[in-house]
Amino acid sequence: MVFGYNSLANLSIIKKEIKRRRISSYDKSGANLDFVSIEGNTKAELCHINSAGIIKHIWMTLASSDIYYLRKSIIRMWWDEEENPSVECPIGDFFGVGHGKTVNFWSL
């Protein structure tokens, strides 16, 4: 298969006329309270986008007194008004720390 200009290999290239956007929990008041607190056994919607796009970066800092929080916290992602999530797994597994030992890593 030849990867040319019109192939799927270039699907994620952002064209010059496209605007980039970012969704963040930053504190708009300037008080440096940049976080979202989610209590146990609850759900929170962190992002809802009603247009085409690419997720290029996800940054989270998690903390809990429960040693199993990386297995108990579930991340779910839906695309295109799906009834069921395309991604549904423990957040530790999603970010590569399913064994419970946190380490820094990068992936493509």
What mean pLDDT is predicted for residues 32-58? 83
Neighbour tally for 94: CB within 10 Å: 19
Asked whether the predicted pLDDT for residue 7 surpasses 70, the reply is no
| Contact predicate 87/76, CB 8 Å | yes
Determine the Cα–Cα distance for residues 65 and 8; give it in Å rounded to an integer.
44
Asked whether the predicted pLDDT for residue 87 surpasses 90, the reply is yes
pTM of the model: 0.69
